Amino acid sequence: MKRKFLLRICLSVVALSAVLSACQKNSNSTQVTPVVKSEVSAEVLQNIKDLGFSTSEVHKVNDGYLVEGDILLTEENFAEASTSPNLRIAETEQYRTTNLVKSLPRTITISVSNLPTVYATATANAVARYNALSLLIKFQIVSSSGNIQVVGFNQGPSGGYITLGSSGFPTKQGNPYKQIQMNTNAAAYGSNPDVNYITSVLQHEIGHCIGFRHTDYFDRSYSCGGAASNEGASNIGAILIPGTPSTADANSWMLACSNGTDRTFNTNDKIALNYLY
Ligand SMILES: [Zn+2]
pLDDT tens sequence across 37-70: 457 888 888 888 777 777 877 888 887 888 877 8
**Residue, of 39 and 217, whose pLDDT is higher:** 39
| Whole-number Å distance between alpha carbons of 68 and 115 | 25
pLDDT per residue over 182-212, tens digit each? Answer: 999 998 899 899 999 999 999 999 999 998 8
Nearest-10 Cα torsion for 153, 188, 195, 177: -40
- The confidence score (pLDDT) of residue 34 equals 40
β-strand 179-183 against 148-153: which pairing, if any? Answer: parallel
Distance 256 CA to ligand 1 centre (A): 5
Distance 165 CA to ligand 1 centre (A): 8
Using 50, 70 and 90 to split pLDDT, how confident is the model at 14? very low
| Whole-number Å distance between alpha carbons of 107 and 193 | 29
The answer to whether the beta carbons of residues 258 and 4 sit under 8 Å apart is yes
How many CB atoms within 10 Å of residue 115? 17
- The confidence score (pLDDT) of residue 236 equals 43
DSSP β-bridge partners for residue 258 = 4
- The confidence score (pLDDT) of residue 57 equals 76
User: How far is CA 227 from each of CA 10, 30, 55, rounded to the nearest angstrom?
Assistant: 15, 8, 14
- With 80 as the cut, is the pLDDT of residue 180 above it? yes
- The confidence score (pLDDT) of residue 95 equals 59
pLDDT per residue over 75-121, tens digit each? Answer: 887 877 555 555 655 455 555 556 789 999 999 999 999 999 999 99
pLDDT per residue over 119-159, tens digit each? Answer: 999 999 999 999 999 999 999 999 999 999 999 999 988 77
Helices (H) and strands (E) in the chain, counts: 8, 15
Distance 53 CA to ligand 1 centre (A): 12
| Coil, helix or strand at residue 206 | helix
Give the up-direction half-sphere exposure of residue 267: CA atoms within 13 A in the CB hemisphere.
8
Secondary structure percentages of the chain, helix, strand, coil, to 5: 25, 20, 50
- The confidence score (pLDDT) of residue 93 equals 52
The fold of 4-276 is: Collagenase (Catalytic Domain) (3.40.390)
pLDDT per residue over 159-176, tens digit each? Answer: 766 788 899 988 888 999
Distance 234 CA to ligand 1 centre (A): 19
Task: Give domain limits for the chain.
Answer: 4-276
Distance 205 CA to ligand 1 centre (A): 6
Return the DSSP state at 32. P
Residues 224-230, mean pLDDT to the nearest whole number: 69
| Whole-number Å distance between alpha carbons of 144 and 163 | 25
- The confidence score (pLDDT) of residue 89 equals 53
Residue 79 burial by CB count (10 A; 0-12/13-18/19+): exposed, middle or buried?
exposed
Distance 263 CA to ligand 1 centre (A): 13
- With 90 as the cut, is the pLDDT of residue 30 above it? no
Distance 259 CA to ligand 1 centre (A): 14
- Helical residues (DSSP H) of the chain, grouped into ranges: 19-22, 42-50, 75-78, 117-131, 186-189, 195-209, 221-224, 267-276
Residue 101 burial by CB count (10 A; 0-12/13-18/19+): exposed, middle or buried?
buried
Distance 54 CA to ligand 1 centre (A): 13
- The confidence score (pLDDT) of residue 237 equals 47
Using 50, 70 and 90 to split pLDDT, how confident is the model at 25? very low
